[in-house]
């Protein structure tokens, strides 16, 4: 498959999966838990994953897949898809719009393409190695700001990470003159 075809395949597939998940936005629909009660898999995770897996297996039957929900399939293949069918499940379930669908294609051990789709905002980001990053079809660039006081940052704390360790790192950043925002920050650290 040519570059343009792969690019179109990724965009078409990730948007279809994200829009299918969006239909369930705000519905918890927990199917099962993983490591702990905060690490859940929802109907939307599974619906999004099925769309992506079916598309890859149909178009690229010899490619390998590593997916957050279903694990590995032919992970030793030269071409390997890495999938997170719904990154930010907790945010998704609570109608906080910081969630999306992610997929990447690794060829011979090198990441060639990566994409993220944020359905709640219809925001699509696509990157190709050595070609840059595009947001909704327009080239985008990292800020060249060198002064942290003129910067903006965002971070989130996974339920799998030690909150004390994260808080310690965050405190070091806050000492700098940096504007930092986080929705529901106090609620996230409430259980330290």
Average pLDDT, rounded, for the chain:
79
The CA distances from residue 158 to 28, 39, 150, 165, in Å, are 18, 9, 27, 12
Sequence-ordered list of residues with C-beta below 8 angstroms from that of 25, at least 6 positions apart, any chain: 44, 92, 95, 119, 120
Same domain, 125 and 182: no
Flag whether pLDDT at 115 surpasses 80: yes
Looking at residue 177, its pLDDT comes to 42
Work out the pLDDT band at 89, boundaries 50, 70, 90.
confident
pTM, rounded to two decimals? 0.75
Q: Indicate if 164 and 120 belong to the same structural domain.
A: no
What is the share, in percent, of the chain residues with pLDDT greater than 90? 47
Q: Are residues 95 and 163 in the same domain?
A: no
Residue 141 above 70 pLDDT?
yes
Statement: residue 68 has pLDDT above 50: yes
Q: Say if residue 79 is in the same domain as residue 10.
A: yes
Residues 103 and 17 in one domain: yes
How does strand 123-128 pair with strand 110-118? Answer: antiparallel
Both 136 and 181 in one domain: the answer is no
Question: Are 171 and 112 in the same domain?
Answer: no
Q: How many CB atoms lie within 10 A of CB 24?
A: 18
Q: Which of 25-29, 48-52, 65-69, 184-188 has the lowest mean pLDDT?
A: 184-188
- Which among 125-129, 147-151, 159-163 has the top mean pLDDT? 125-129
pLDDT tops 70 at residue 78: yes
| Number of structural domains found in the chain | 2
Mean pLDDT of 128-133: 92
Residues 24 and 41 in one domain: yes
* Residues 10 and 90 grouped into a single domain: yes
Four-CA torsion 147, 150, 154, 155, nearest 10 degrees = 30
pLDDT tens across 34-50, in order? 555 455 678 888 999 99
Question: What is the C-alpha separation between 1 and 42, in angstroms, rounded?
Answer: 33
Same domain, 32 and 95: yes
Residues 76 and 164 in one domain: no
Residues 31 and 119 in one domain: yes
CATH number, domain containing residue 107: 3.30.540.10
Q: How many CB atoms lie within 10 A of CB 126?
A: 20
Q: Higher model confidence: residue 150 or residue 98?
A: 98
| Domain extent at residue 184 | 148-189
């Amino acid at each position: 498959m040519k570059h343009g075809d792969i690019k179109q395949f990724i965009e078409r597939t990730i948007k279809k999966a994200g829009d299918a998940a969006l239909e369930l936005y705000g519905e918890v629909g927990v199917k099962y838990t993983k490591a702990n009660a905060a690490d859940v898999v929802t109907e939307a995770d599974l619906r999004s994953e099925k769309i992506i897996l079916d598309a890859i297996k149909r178009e690229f039957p010899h490619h390998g897949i590593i997916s957050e929900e279903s694990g590995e399939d032919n992970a030793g293949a030269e071409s390997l898809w890495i999938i997170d069918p719904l990154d930010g499940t907790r945010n998704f379930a609570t109608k906080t719009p910081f969630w999306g669908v992610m997929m990447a294609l690794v060829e011979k051990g090198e990441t060639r393409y990566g994409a993220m789709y944020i359905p709640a905002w219809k925001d699509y980001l696509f990157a190709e190695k050595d070609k840059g990053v595009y947001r909704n079809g327009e080239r985008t660039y990292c800020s060249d700001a060198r002064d942290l006081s003129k910067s903006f940052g965002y971070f989130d704390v996974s339920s799998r990470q030690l909150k004390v360790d994260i808080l310690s790192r965050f405190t070091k950043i806050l000492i700098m003159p940096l504007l930092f925002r986080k929705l529901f920050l106090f609620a996230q650290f409430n259980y330290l």
